Amino acid sequence: MNVAIVTARAGSKSIINKNIFNVCGRPLIQYPLSAANDAQGIDKVFVSTDGEEIARASRDVGAEIIPRPEELSGDTVNHGDVIKHAVEWVDERHPDLQNVVLLLGNTVQIDGKTIDLCLQKLDSDPTLDSCMTVWQAQDDHPLRALEINDEGLLETWGDKARKVSTERQSYAEAYYYDQGVWAFRKHTVQSADGPSPWWWMGKRSAPVVRTWVTGRDVHTMFDIGISEWWAKNPELIAEYLKQSGNNGL
């Protein structure tokens, strides 16, 4: 059995009631839920939440609610602990659970095809613990990172002695989780040995590379604007992704 779990807490502060914010006539959370419903490899869809309005919008598209305990609510809770609780809650009720697809409740840029691709990677290689969508961003490479020091001035982040070229092509490739899909075996939430900070993903995690900056989740009204454009232009998005070599992802 494969399930999708969407995590969506109440009490967001960047945008009030963010997970049910109206995006092109639909609550935001219904976009990842629709993607999960469209995926052929998903048997059941769940939402972990502490918000009744989020729960209501989720039930409207067929999701089952995982009640989130109070100690896992709030701004400072480790997302991994929320994920672990949700997986264990489902596993207790569905002992045939095998794989979990974890989606964020505040993203539009995801579809059933991408979910199925991640599950297919797990099916095709039993040695894998997980799979996640990532993008490569040389402009945002860690070698270019800066920090603001005690004087309020910019300086090299981390190793202050490092010297790197301005030519981004000279850097070793760096990849970032793109707020899209985490797919993992149910046992990895117990082993807690995944690549930091995604400790619930297990040691052997395969990439599904999407184009930059596909997969952006919502934190500001700027992100809402991007999500609305994405939702309104599916044909443009599909053509762009095809031309960029992402095989329709």
Same domain, yes or no, for 6 and 89? yes
- Asked if 130 contacts 204 with a C-beta cutoff of 8 angstroms, the reply is yes
pLDDT in tens, 41-100: 999 999 999 999 999 999 999 999 999 999 999 888 999 999 999 999 999 999 999 999
Query: Which residue range forms the structural domain that includes residue 107?
Result: 2-133+177-243
pLDDT in tens, 28-44: 999 999 999 999 999 99
Same domain, yes or no, for 162 and 182? no
Residue 249 falls inside a structural domain: no
Residue 248 falls inside a structural domain: no
Q: How many domains does the chain have?
A: 2
Same domain, yes or no, for 26 and 105? yes
Q: Where are the beta strands (DSSP E) in 141-203?
A: 146-148, 154-156, 175-185
Domain containing residue 110: CATH number: 3.90.550.10
pLDDT in tens, 138-179: 888 999 999 999 999 999 999 989 888 999 889 999 999 999
Same domain, yes or no, for 147 and 213? no
CA dihedral (121, 133, 181, 28) positive or negative: negative
pLDDT in tens, 175-195: 999 999 999 999 999 999 999
Same domain, yes or no, for 143 and 207? no
Residue 229 falls inside a structural domain: yes
